[in-house]
Amino acid sequence: MIQLDEKIYFYLLTIVPVLVVLFIFVQIWKKRTQKKFADSPLMKRLTPDRSDFKSTLKLLFFLIGISLLTLGLVNPKIGTKLETVKREGVDIVFAVDVSKSMLAEDIAPNRLEKAKRLVSEIINQLASDRIGIIAYAGQAFPQLPITTDYGAAKMFLQGMNTDMLTSQGTAIDAAIELATTYYDDEEQTNRVLFIISDGEDHSEGAALDAVELATEEGIIVYTIGVGKAKGAPIPIKRNGVVESLKKDSQGEVVITKLNEAVLEDIADEGNGEYIDGTNTEEAVEFIKEQLNQMDKKEFEAKQFAEYKDQFQWFLGAGLIFLFLDIFILDRKTSWLRKLNLFNEKVVD
């Protein structure tokens, strides 16, 4: 387990591309200036020991040194001691809709990003509950098994997108069926499933059958709606720029709408409630209250109790590369020139 103490220092890495750009401009300026003074063959005669390769190598060493020093300032720590702790909580699974309709921008910035923000904010309110994540579209895919590692959950959550599943559509029933396999503790009395979606369901009523089976296993199903009832088109983007809008087989622009009725039916059948996800703060506060009212089960979990600083390795390596940059000269090295690795012509 790796822990980063001072992540703010990562901003120092922005100096790397700036230095690369400056280096390129300086090299262009030098060549243009040299051409005004003399042509290329003459310059090689006048400065036979000048090495273009060495200047690039020096820059590379300098950039590596700066990067390593930055990592040293961030101070990565490695967990060195695991201990077993007792926690109390419920098991929560988030099923996030990643179908193309979630790209609609009737809720800023789009439905999918709104869904991810909702889940992230819910996780921020949790203390010792176990969580799992499922992505679904035309089929369901296990994104993260049940765990107490909230950091990993957020990392996997941010990586979710509408291209991660090739099978398009919205099969809520598949997500519910997969969720029932997540709860690995038979003694857990409170199992909660949150379905975050715009309510478009292509499973033709199979979702209610899946919910019925889930409730038999003690799973409470909540649904969170993202989107607007009036709907919006589905943008097709390339490099962040809208190229066109999704159209049906008749060439008409597809308007995708929030289907609250489907989500309400699923929540009712699952002994849960439908939650409007438009206002993130209100939705998260309501969910927090619901979870606090549930009985918590005690379970054991392993976590790192001690972390060891690793900054010294990065600082040491960074200083070595900076010293290499200082001591390497721009001139060609005599023994390297004798090897003639680049098959250079010898100037008389």
Are residues 126 and 263 both part of a single domain?
A: yes
d(C-alpha 322, C-alpha 26), whole Å: 20
Cis upstream peptide for 109 (omega within 30°): yes
Which comes out higher in pLDDT, residue 84 or 29? 29
The closest of 226, 164, 233, 173 to 199, measured between CA atoms, is 226
Question: Chain-centre distance of CA 324, in angstroms?
Answer: 36
Contact 296, 69 (CB under 8 A): no
pLDDT higher at 32 or 221:
221
Q: Is residue 142 part of a domain?
A: yes
What amino acid occupies position 306?
Answer: E
Strands, E, within the chain: which ranges? 2-4, 76-89, 91-97, 130-136, 140-147, 191-197, 219-225, 232-233, 235-238, 241-245, 255-256, 274-276, 297-309
Is residue 90 scored above 50 in pLDDT? Answer: yes
- What are the helix (H) ranges across 75-147? 111-125
pLDDT tens per residue, range 163-217? 888 777 778 999 999 999 998 777 667 899 999 999 987 776 789 999 999 999 9
Cα–Cα nearest to 134, from 210, 186, 22: 210
Among the residue ranges 34-38, 104-108, 158-162, 170-174, the one predicted with the least confidence is 34-38
Q: Which domain holds residue 32?
A: 2-75+310-339
Q: In this structure, are 101 and 146 located in the same domain? A: yes
Strands 191-197 and 219-225 come out as parallel
Residue 343: is its pLDDT beyond 90?
no
pLDDT band, residue 238 (cuts 50/70/90):
confident
Dihedral sign for Cα atoms in the order 146, 151, 152, 156: positive
In a domain, 221, yes or no: yes
- Mean residue pLDDT of the chain comes to 84
207 found inside a domain? yes
Q: How confident is the model at residue 243 (pLDDT cuts 50, 70, 90)?
A: confident
Distance CA 132, CA 129 (A): 10
Both 174 and 253 in one domain: the answer is yes
Number of compact structural domains in the chain:
2
Sheet order of strands, 219-225 included: 140-147, 130-136, 91-97, 191-197, 219-225, 274-276
Asked if the structure places residue 209 within a domain, the reply is: yes
Burial class of residue 254 (count of CB atoms within 10 Å of its CB; 0-12, 13-18, 19+): middle
Give yes or no: residues 157 and 178 share one domain.
Answer: yes
Is pLDDT larger for residue 300 or for residue 201? Answer: 201
* Helix, strand or coil, per DSSP, at residue 234: coil
What is the residue type of 136?
Y
**pLDDT at 348 (0 to 100):** 47
Domain match, 250 and 184 both: yes
Q: Identify the helix (H) or strand (E) that includes residue 279.
A: none
CA quadruple 319, 322, 327, 328: dihedral sign? positive
Rounded-to-integer distance, Cα 139 and Cα 196, Å:
15
347 found inside a domain: no
- 15 and 153 fall within a common domain: no
pLDDT band at 330; cut points 50, 70, 90: low
Q: Do 192 and 230 belong to one domain?
A: yes
The percentage of residues in the chain with a pLDDT greater than 70, rounded to a whole number, is 81
